[in-house]
């Protein structure tokens, strides 16, 4: 291997064993020191962030799949598959034999992690069971199966069912046996009606205490839900659909960290980035005089704010979130962006459907490139 100074030379495009360097990542630690790591693509397609010393020293040669590829798996069995020998036509694969007798070439790590457990026969058998099994007379929730109806476009067998309310409906075998469908639709209507009429004033859900009824939310399909004005433990007020409260979908005004934010927090810690959460400013408040908070603040060595990061859930882009989503998009988000522009504070937004770690890498690189 070519001898180089990996701390100063540009390694993008260079190959170290199974890893090809694709990007350079720099970040400043809380002590002011700048650290360099390299983003590498493995021959299996996965990406891995590697420190210079481990890359040059050969301590890391792949994303982790290398030891699996070079491991002697002959005779080992996982699920229905038994490893026979390495695939001569593809060094990353092994030849396996399924219990049904079929021979197949597979990626070892896919089998060992349980992602592949057969040649495909297991899924075929499960599907076949739904076709062969006679459900006539059997009961599923409020539905009693009368007779086989037909097949749908996905070639799933359909069954004609009688509901306890008197209606007759046609349901797929998979929906019946999985419990996904338990009525003609009347069960859902009754549940919605109960949520709509039931008074939950004074009840507490997570950090939210219900204060009073606050109008009606009408969905895109015409369904109606009661909305309730709630007080959060942090002091903020929030209007929430009753069904979201009862089902535990909403537990706070937003001050509780979401799954996406929790993942971001862990990534920033792993990358030794100095940060703080729920950043607020005395001169940035909502129209109701509540402080507007930013999810993350990237800090310098003196705990000063270098940049702000917002994790944006679907309500920031999707019209199906009613007045709450509209307020976020048209008022709150605009306020925050204008404030950061006025104060010359870099603001980055990560969408709920972004690859979070990759997005953070790009953001950190931009922040430190402008120091």
Q: Are 152 and 159 in contact (CB under 8 A)?
A: no
* pLDDT at 258 (0 to 100): 64
Mean pLDDT of 232-239: 82
**What is residue 277's predicted lDDT score, i.e. its pLDDT?**
82
C-alpha dihedral sign at 179, 185, 187, 193: positive
Average pLDDT over residues 123-148: 75
Whether pLDDT at 302 is above 70 = yes
Q: What is the pLDDT of residue 357?
A: 87
DSSP 359: H
pLDDT in tens, 252-265: 776 655 667 778 88
How confident is the model at residue 166, as a pLDDT? 84
Q: Over the stretch 40-65, which tens digit does the pLDDT of each residue have? A: 988 877 888 888 888 888 888 888 77
pLDDT class of 309 with cuts at 50, 70, 90: very high
| pLDDT of 255 | 64
Residue 45, both tokens: 């397609």
What number is the average pLDDT over the span 88-95? 80
What integer pLDDT is reported at residue 4 of this predicted model? 44
Please report, for the chain, the start and end positions of each structural domain, with discontinuous segments joined by +: 15-64, 67-119, 124-184, 189-246, 259-369
What is the rounded distance in angstroms from the CA atom of residue 94 to the CA atom of residue 106?
Answer: 6
Pick the CATH number of 259-369 from 3.40.50, 3.90.1690, 1.10.3470, 3.40.960: 3.40.960
pLDDT at 173 exceeding the cut of 50 = yes
The predicted pLDDT at position 190 comes to 60
Distances (CA, A) of 63 to 48, 322, 334: 6, 43, 41
State residue 338's pLDDT score: 94
Evaluate whether 119 touches 106 at the Cβ level (below 8 Å): no
Mind giving me the DSSP string for 324-357?
Answer: HHHHIIIIIHHHHHHHHHHHT--EEEEETTS-HH
Decide if pLDDT at 2 tops 50: no
**For the whole prediction, is pTM greater than 0.85?**
no
pLDDT at 335: 92
Neighbours of 112 (CB within 10 A): 15
Residue 126, pLDDT above cutoff 90 = no
Q: How confident is the model at residue 192 (pLDDT cuts 50, 70, 90)?
A: low
Least confident interval from 87-96, 126-135, 146-155:
126-135
């Amino acid at each position: 291997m070519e001898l180089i100074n990996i701390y100063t030379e540009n390694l993008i495009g260079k190959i170290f064993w199974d890893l090809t360097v694709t990007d350079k990542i720099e970040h400043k630690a809380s002590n002011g020191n700048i650290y360099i790591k390299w983003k590498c693509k493995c021959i299996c397609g996965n990406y891995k962030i590697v420190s210079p010393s481990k890359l040059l020293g050969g301590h890391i040669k792949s994303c982790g799949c290398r030891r699996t590829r070079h491991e002697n798996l002959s005779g080992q069995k996982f699920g229905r598959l038994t490893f026979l020998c390495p695939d001569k036509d593809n060094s990353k694969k092994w030849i396996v034999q399924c219990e049904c007798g079929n021979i197949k070439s597979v990626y070892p790590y896919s089998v060992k992690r349980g992602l592949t457990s057969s040649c495909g026969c297991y899924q075929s058998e499960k599907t076949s069971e739904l076709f062969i099994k006679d459900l006539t007379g059997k009961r599923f929730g409020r539905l009693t199966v009368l007779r086989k109806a037909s097949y749908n476009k996905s070639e799933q067998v359909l069954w004609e069912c009688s509901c306890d309310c008197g209606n007759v409906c046609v349901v797929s075998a998979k929906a019946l046996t999985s419990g996904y469908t338990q009525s003609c639709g009347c069960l859902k209507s009754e549940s919605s009606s109960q949520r709509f009429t039931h008074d939950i004033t004074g009840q507490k859900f997570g950090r939210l205490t219900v204060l009073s009824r606050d109008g009606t939310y009408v969905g895109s399909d015409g369904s109606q839900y009661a909305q309730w004005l709630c007080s959060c433990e942090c002091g903020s007020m929030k209007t929430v659909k009753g069904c979201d409260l009862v089902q535990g979908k909403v537990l706070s005004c937003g001050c509780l960290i979401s799954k996406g934010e929790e993942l971001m927090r862990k990534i920033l810690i792993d990358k030794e980035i100095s940060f703080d959460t729920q950043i607020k400013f005395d001169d940035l408040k909502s129209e109701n005089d509540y402080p507007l908070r930013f999810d993350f603040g990237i800090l310098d060595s003196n705990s000063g704010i270098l940049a702000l990061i917002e994790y944006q859930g679907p309500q920031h882009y999707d019209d199906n979130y009613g007045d709450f989503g509209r307020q976020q998009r048209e008022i709150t988000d605009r306020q925050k962006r204008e404030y950061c522009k006025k104060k010359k504070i870099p603001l980055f937004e990560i969408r709920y459907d972004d690859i979070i770690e990759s997005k953070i890498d790009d953001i950190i690189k931009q922040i430190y490139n402008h120091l």
